[in-house]
């Protein structure tokens, strides 16, 4: 006689089993027996993604209709609390139904709410007036309009991501102020340029990949990981009188990793760029500079200032964009400023990608190798057919006896 031991396990154990299954498979357990018919509807976590939907259904509205049936079953039969909900699927939601579902979740003790990816020709207004989740700790919003009428805030929120949202400067500032324990902030693709003001004392991670007109960072003593990738050219009439590199990066004394790209470098180069920051970035160990243009003197000045201001740098990553004009003035600048007795006493890893003309990078490579006593690896990726030969590399003076140099080629 077969004994059904699994069906009689405590719900906490059964839920643990079901949560280890994709939701599509958890739903299928409803056909096992009458005992299992509604067990999946009592889960505390729901991930609605493409794995849940039939691959034969391609129409975005039809795919949403499949999702809607699942949400309806949960709404009718769910007992207990929903602590996590995630929607990330190729579908076109009905905004009114999505808003009602969000309001339904507000009656639960939601800790994680994630809208990550779906198709929507127009933005929908996120119902903050109906979204009362006092224990919320993780919030990701996508494709919505954010207004905050009578907003009480999220006292437990530690992770916030906004992607493809419509929000104005004052609303974003209020939202951030009302999240007093926020630790991770990711801002991606705003509909309109904003002036970003951040004064969250608990913040540890900041990523900006959006249209931002200006940045103010104040009282962020624990901010250790920063990425700034501006999606628009700097707006001259909003630049501060003080140099942005000094004003924004110079105050981040706890920073350990910094990643910047093309427009960000130009933004930081307003006014007079110092040779190095007056307050050195003693904790900065990883510096990533992408889309650096070798014929842009501003890029070179900011990059070199950051390198000189990080005495404990351990990893340096640089990707180079194709030059549009002559780079002689930049090469001359590097020659003049790379002969000042600077040493990288802790630099271990260097990666330089996107070299179009080897002469542009040659002086910088020589400088790094000659002044890095503990360097372990240097990877050089050249675009096109040419690369540095082993004979060329052997001629370079190396302060580190154990450094390995890898020279590669890549298609652009």
Provide mean pLDDT across the span 70-83: 84
In the three-class reduction of DSSP (H, G, I as helix; E, B as strand; rest coil), residue 382 is classed as strand
Provide mean pLDDT across the span 353-360: 66
**pLDDT the model gives residue 185:** 98
**Is pLDDT at 271 greater than 60 in this prediction?**
yes
**pLDDT the model gives residue 54:** 84
What separation in angstroms does the CA of 306 have from each of 94, 109, 227?
Answer: 48, 45, 14
**pLDDT the model gives residue 254:** 94
**pLDDT the model gives residue 324:** 58
> Which residues have C-beta within 8 Å of that of residue 365, sequence separation ≥ 6?
352, 378, 380, 388, 396
Q: Per 3-state DSSP, what percentage of the chain is helix, strand, and coil (rounded to 5)? A: 30, 25, 45
Q: 57, 81, 67, 56: which is closest to 23 by C-alpha?
A: 67
**pLDDT the model gives residue 26:** 75
Tally Cβ neighbours within 10 Å of residue 180: 14
- pTM value is 0.89
pLDDT confidence band for 32 (50 / 70 / 90): confident
Share of the chain above pLDDT 90, in %: 48
pLDDT confidence band for 189 (50 / 70 / 90): very high
For residues 131 and 146, the answer to whether their CB atoms sit within 8 Å is no
For the chain, the domains span 1-40, 44-165+176-188+200-205
Q: Distance between CA 125 and CA 349 in Å, rounded? A: 46
Burial state string for 1-34 with b = 16 or more CB within 10 A and e = fewer than 16: eeeeeeeeeeeeebbeebeeeebeebbebeeeee
* 106 phi, psi to nearest 5 deg: -65, -20
Q: Distance between CA 252 and CA 275 in Å, rounded? A: 18
**pLDDT the model gives residue 338:** 60
pLDDT confidence band for 128 (50 / 70 / 90): very high
């Amino acid at each position: 006689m077969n004994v059904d031991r699994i069906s009689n396990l405590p719900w906490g154990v059964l839920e643990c089993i079901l949560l280890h299954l994709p939701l599509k498979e958890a739903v299928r357990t409803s056909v096992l027996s009458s005992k299992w018919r509604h067990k999946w509807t009592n889960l505390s976590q729901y991930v609605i993604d493409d794995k849940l939907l039939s691959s034969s259904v391609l129409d975005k509205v039809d795919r949403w209709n499949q999702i809607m049936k699942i949400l309806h079953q949960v709404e009718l039969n769910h007992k207990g609390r929903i602590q996590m909900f995630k929607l990330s699927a190729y579908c076109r939601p009905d905004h009114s139904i999505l808003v009602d579902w969000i309001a339904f979740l507000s009656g639960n003790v939601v800790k994680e709410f994630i809208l990550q990816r779906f198709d929507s020709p127009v933005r929908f207004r996120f119902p903050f007036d109906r979204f009362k989740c006092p224990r919320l700790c993780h919030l990701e919003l996508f494709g919505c309009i954010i207004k905050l009428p009578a907003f009480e805030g999220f006292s437990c929120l530690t992770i916030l991501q906004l992607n493809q949202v419509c929000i104005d400067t004052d609303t974003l500032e209020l939202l951030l102020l009302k999240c007093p324990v926020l630790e991770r902030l990711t801002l991606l693709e705003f509909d309109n340029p904003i002036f970003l003001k951040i004064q969250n004392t608990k913040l540890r991670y900041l990523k900006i990949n959006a249209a931002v007109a200006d940045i103010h960072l104040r009282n962020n003593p624990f901010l250790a990981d920063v990425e700034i990738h501006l999606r628009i050219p700097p707006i001259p009439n909003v630049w501060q009188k003080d140099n942005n590199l000094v004003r924004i990066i110079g105050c981040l004394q706890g920073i350990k990793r910094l990643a910047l790209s093309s427009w960000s470098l130009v933004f930081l180069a307003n006014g007079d760029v110092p040779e190095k920051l007056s307050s050195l970035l003693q904790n900065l160990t990883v510096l990533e500079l992408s889309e650096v243009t070798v014929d842009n003197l501003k890029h070179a000045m900011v990059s070199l200032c950051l390198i000189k201001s990080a005495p404990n740098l351990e990893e340096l990553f640089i990707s180079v964009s194709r030059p549009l004009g002559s780079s002689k003035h930049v090469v001359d600048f590097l020659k003049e400023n790379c002969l000042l007795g600077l040493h990288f006493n802790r630099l271990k890893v260097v990666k330089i990608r996107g070299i179009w003309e080897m002469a542009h990078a040659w002086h910088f490579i020589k400088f790094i190798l000659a002044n890095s006593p503990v360097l372990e690896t240097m990877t050089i990726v050249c675009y096109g057919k040419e690369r540095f030969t082993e004979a060329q590399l052997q001629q370079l003076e190396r302060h580190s006896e154990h450094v390995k140099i890898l020279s590669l080629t890549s298609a652009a």
